[in-house]
Amino acid sequence: MSLYEIFIIGIGLSMDAFAVSVCKGLSLGKIKPVHMLKAGVWFGGFQALMPLIGYLLAGLFAGFIDQYDHWIAFVLLVLIGINMIREVFGEEEKLSAEMDYKTMLLMAVATSIDALAVGVSFAFLEVNIVPAVIIIGATTFVFSSVGVKLGSVFGTKYKKGSELAGGLILVLIGTKILLEGLKII
């Protein structure tokens, strides 16, 4: 998997955190640079940590299922993508203006669970995990920081669109991995 593909996955994974950051910016109203920094560090940090954990856990049993790795990556990425798309049409989430440790920890974990599954798929695809987690974490840091600012300026206008785009990106990448594994492309 190329660094470009990992960057695209990073964009897809960051969409949940971006959407939450936009809502956080909306609920905060007037923001300060520290608000953008907090969102970036929390969301970017967890988006980097979770694929690493998934990669390390999957490494324990990757040798047993090498012949199915493309199917596993496909199923995980498509399920994550479909879930993100489904959330677009679900009930609107209510977010508070709080940015304390407990609130940010819960939101960072909730928005990065999908990155754990991506880390598992990375182990099967033998992705170099260090650049991957750096790219994913940095991408999410930027998207989350900018999301807080955009939320304070524009509100929730782009929340659903960003989640939909992120879900579609993950479904398409999962499909590409499957087609490559089946030697179709």
Measure the CA–CA gap between 76 and 72, rounded to whole angstroms: 6
pLDDT in tens, 103-154: 888 888 878 878 888 898 898 888 999 999 999 999 999 999 999 998 888 7
Measure the CA–CA gap between 45 and 169, rounded to whole angstroms: 21
Neighbours of 104 (CB within 10 A): 18
**In this predicted structure, what is the pLDDT of residue 95?**
53
Q: What is the pTM for the complete model shown? A: 0.72
Write down the mean pLDDT value for the chain: 83
Q: What percent of the chain has pLDDT over 70?
A: 85
Question: Which sequence spans correspond to the domains of the chain?
Answer: 3-181
Report residue 25 CA to chain centroid gap. 19
For the chain, the C-alpha Rg in angstroms (whole number) is 16
Closest CA to 85 of 160, 9, 173: 160
**In this predicted structure, what is the pLDDT of residue 182?**
87
pLDDT in tens, 42-70: 999 999 999 999 999 887 775 666 667 67
Measure the CA–CA gap between 72 and 133, rounded to whole angstroms: 20
Which residue did the predictor score with more confidence, 86 or 165?
Answer: 86
**In this predicted structure, what is the pLDDT of residue 161?**
74
**In this predicted structure, what is the pLDDT of residue 159?**
62
